[in-house]
Structure formats: structure tokens, C-alpha cells
Structure 1
């Protein structure tokens, strides 16, 4: 099986065996524009074939940001990739380029599938804290996409009517305060990822960093509480670029959840801090999940 994780900066492709174990990986830079993205994805498949020595004729799964019509294999609003088409028929174009059947889904959905496969949890919410904020749900072993493929777009829930404008056209959206972009704005850094720089500074005792870290963790805790009260999953997995901070992030968010529950016996009864986990850092869950898409897509 082949899985492609197409992001704003990179295309990561994996070839896996029938059990989802990674046999080979290929990483390349993501170009801008529909034609260039398709060509880069096809090149990754070609290189995976070369590295494995197999034709890899099975389904190629693709996880990509944007709104995805899984049945049609089409994507729109993938603006970070320079894909301006109302609906780009990505599956058809990539199938022609690779000679293999292709299935396409949202990248966070793919990551949730991969996380479920790797962790063994079949009732989870995967919370992606990256450039933006989004979630994907595996409920009783089934991926929930939503009637309009918008399930999990929690970053665009307006939580502050007097807040700043969001790129979605609303104001005060949750991802303005609970995303990698938010951290980069509040704690800019050039030599290391901003989230890592922030948490390191806070750990070193920088008072301002502690305030910024705790405020950020509280907003991520809001997102965790939101998904927990909506679908009540067994676990909430923290993923995305900010999750590379590791255990420091989980501890900060768990602490914020505990503080938020101080005055609420109801929230305390849900034991949200203990249901919070990090996505495994040693497996490319989004690419592995993309490879599994052929098993779950219509």
C-alpha cells in the first residue's frame, strides 16, 4: 500500500505492508499549484516503487488539507498549496500519472486513521495543532467525515465575538489562539520551531514565556473540552506540528484542563487530563493513515 501526506511544505510518501508497517519513505518539498502538486506526488510514488523494487499497483491513498469530496476524489480550498480550482479532481489526475487507483481524504482524517492503527484506540479524537486547528474523530472504529466533509473544523468555531478576524471570514475563531500560527505570533523564533522555543523558555523560568505558554495551553484545553463534550471519546490525541514539543505540551494542557475543572464537579467527573495522549512521534501517522484509506473510503 502507498500513502501520501501532502502538506503545505512537504510531501511524505510511504510504502507499507498489509499490516501498515512502513517499508520505505520518500520526502520532498511541496510545490505550489495544482499541476506541480500532482507531478510531485507522482514522483514520490515512482521513487517508492524504485526503493521497494515493487510495482505497488494497489490503491494510492492521499491525505491533503482542504475540503475533500471522497467519493469524487476531489479537493477544494487547499489554498496553502496554491490550489485555486473550485474542485480539483486530484484522484483522477494522480491515477493517470501513476497508473494506480487513488483515493483522497482530508489530511487530518488520514492522520486519525493512522493514529488509531498505531495506538490501537478505536474511539478517539485526533486534535491537529498545526498552522491551524482541526480535529478528526474515529468513533467506535469508524471515521466520521460529516455530511459536508466538514466534521472536525473546530478551529473555526467563534469563541470571541469581539476578537480578531479569521481567514475564514468570521471573528474570534478558536484557532487564532490555539494553533501553531498563534504561538509563532506570540513567541517568534528563527533557529528552532516557535513552540519549542516557547516551552524551553518557560521551562527555564522566563516569566513572560510562562504566561504565554499557560495561556496557549488553556486555549488548547478549550479545544480538548469541546471535542470531549461533543463526542466523549475514549482518548484525545494531540498531534500536528506543535505536538513535536512532546510531553511538555501534554502536561501543560492537562494542567489547564485540571484548573478549568476546579469549580465544576461535572468536568472533574470526566477525568479529561487522564484521557489526553500524544500521537506517537516515531511513526508518520498521516502517511500511514493515507495508505489505509482504501480500506475505509466509499
Structure 2
């Protein structure tokens, strides 16, 4: 039995996975804010799953944690997880210390963990890219069942690929990154609203015929399509799985992306030969792919 924890900004999902890779137990807890609270949330998740499975922490084959921010997968340290109130935290070592002798904890970036979970859940083979569209934009790449992190772990940070030299300044300090066009924060900047889900509000206004909303929605679709194109041209994955908060919009989101990709195919025989629309799919709704991937991280 393997245990995986996905620590998000407001909620923490945790799962136990059996020897066949099937989901055995799952729980959800509110995430605490700050160093102490994050550790306590993770300890509570392990304790609760231990009760459900009848296993002590040392009884799990592996324990993995997916967390936002910059992760050192060797040390288990996490840095710059601002939504959790973490500047730097030795998450892996501190959690292992709390859980007892003989317990090893692996820590991975949450998007990369989600990529591994989606790959496993969908039963994919070969190469897959997981495009996470949430507050920001990032991707994870899985090759033959294993995460591809690159030489420094930066592989997949596609949201910080500049596409518009005259565009908005990105949080990374560059100008006109994909994330400024095709993410929740990018939409919120362009379409101020009291709705807690700015992209949903934008698409509703666009459907109602608002010209400004339609223009922003069109840029959103082009931005996502551009990310898909960049992933295919650089990594050549057989499948690009779209996940993250924006994926909950389903076909309302995917329809516009497919339309852009088909438009590009009509003017580019080269892109038409790559079948970009046929490679794109949504992560199954409601599936805890990041927690599932965290459970598998111990073997990667």
C-alpha cells in the first residue's frame, strides 16, 4: 500500500493506493497556513489514512507529498510556496521525523505529481504532457511511466515562455508570458469580477455576447492552444492532458482550444500533420490525480 498527499492552498487530498495501483481510500482535509500548520495537516492525513487502512506509517510501501513551489526532490525541501505561507521548509525531513523511525517521505512539485497521477489513471504509455491550468500555468512530462524533470527540475515551466514582447509583465519578471494570457490570474487581470471563478464569469459574458469578454476569451483559447503546440513541438507527447482548476469548465474551455487548433491546421500542412486536436484531452472530472501521483512518486 502506498500513500500520497496533495497539499493545496485551501485543501489537502490524501489517498492510499493498493498493490495494483487502484485507489483504496481517500480523504480531504482543510490545509493549514504556515510552516507548523502544513506539517500538522500532513501528519493528520497520514494518521487518518492509517486508521482507514489499519497501517502504521512505516507499514506503507512509500509516502509521497505533492506541494506547490520549488521542490528539491533529493532533500525534500520546499521553497517559495507562497499560497501555503512557506518561504522554505524541510518538508520531507520534518514529516518523516514526525511519523517515526523507518519512514521515508518523498516530496515532488504538485504539477509533476499530477502528471504522474494522470498518466497512471488514464492507462497511458509512451510520452504524455500534463498541462495544468489554474492560477498559473505549468506542465509536467512523463516518459515511459517516469517523470522527466530536466537537468535542474525546471522542465515543464511552459507558463513562463514569452509569446508577446509587448504583453503584460509576468510574475517571473519577463514580459508577455503564456501565463499572462492563459491562466486564472491572467484572466482575472483582464476581466475584473467578484465571481470567485473569473474564467467562468468571462466565458458566461462571452456567451452572452459581450465584445470585450469575447476578445479575452479568444486570447485565452489561443494561449492554451499555443501551450499545446509548444509541448508537442518540443516533447512530442502522444497525449496532452489538460488539468487544474480551469479543466473543470470542460467542453466550454476545450471547444475554443480545438477551434484554434483546427484553424491553424487549415493554414499549415505541417501542423495538420501533427494532429494537435487529437492529442488533447481533459483529466477525468473529480479525480485526485495529484494525490495519486504523490503516492507513486516514491518509485520515481
Q: Do these two structures clear the TM 0.5 threshold for a shared fold by scoring above it?
A: yes
Deviation at 1:233, TM superposition (A): 0.6
Partner-residue secondary structure (3-state), 1:23: strand
Distance 1:188 1:280 in 2: 29
Partner-residue secondary structure (3-state), 2:111: helix
Distance 1:192 1:84 in 2: 26
> 232, 241, 257: which is aligned to 2:245?
241
Distance 1:19 1:195 in 2: 38
Further displaced range: 91-100 or 108-117: 91-100
Partner-residue secondary structure (3-state), 2:299: helix
1:17/1:204 Cα in 2 relative to 1: closer, same or farther (>3 Å)? farther
Deviation at 1:276, TM superposition (A): 0.7
Deviation at 1:133, TM superposition (A): 0.4
Is 2:30 the counterpart of 1:26?
A: no
- Is the 8 Å Cα contact of residues 9 and 29 (structure 1) preserved in structure 2? yes
For structure 1, the 5+ residue unaligned runs are none
Distance 2:264 2:32 in 1: 42
Partner-residue secondary structure (3-state), 2:298: helix
For structure 2, the 5+ residue unaligned runs are none
1:280/1:153 Cα in 2 relative to 1: closer, same or farther (>3 Å)? same
Deviation at 1:280, TM superposition (A): 1.1
Distance 1:159 1:218 in 2: 11
Further displaced range: 101-110 or 157-166: 157-166
TM-score, with length taken from structure 1: 0.92
Distance 1:201 1:275 in 2: 29
Partner-residue secondary structure (3-state), 2:261: helix
What is residue 7 of structure 1 aligned with on the other side?
8
1:162/1:126 Cα in 2 relative to 1: closer, same or farther (>3 Å)? same
Deviation at 1:193, TM superposition (A): 2.0
What is residue 75 of structure 2 aligned with on the other side?
72
Distance 1:113 1:225 in 2: 21
> 62, 81, 86: which is aligned to 2:84?
81
Listed as ranges, the matches of 1:55-134 within 5 Å are: 55-56=56-57, 57-58=59-60, 59-85=62-88, 88-99=89-100, 100-122=103-125, 123-134=127-138
Deviation at 1:163, TM superposition (A): 2.2
- Is the 8 Å Cα contact of residues 61 and 103 (structure 1) preserved in structure 2? yes
TM-score, with length taken from structure 2: 0.92
- Is the 8 Å Cα contact of residues 3 and 288 (structure 1) preserved in structure 2? yes
- Is the 8 Å Cα contact of residues 6 and 66 (structure 2) preserved in structure 1? yes
Listed as ranges, the matches of 1:174-213 within 5 Å are: 174-191=178-195, 193-213=197-217
What is residue 173 of structure 2 aligned with on the other side?
169
Is 2:141 the counterpart of 1:137?
A: yes
Q: CA RMSD in A?
A: 1.8
Further displaced range: 275-284 or 185-194: 185-194
- Is the 8 Å Cα contact of residues 116 and 145 (structure 2) preserved in structure 1? no
- Is the 8 Å Cα contact of residues 67 and 150 (structure 1) preserved in structure 2? no
Deviation at 1:67, TM superposition (A): 1.8
Listed as ranges, the matches of 1:277-288 within 5 Å are: 277-288=281-292
Cα deviations by residue, 1:209-228 (Å, 9 ceiling, x for unpaired): 33322221111111111111
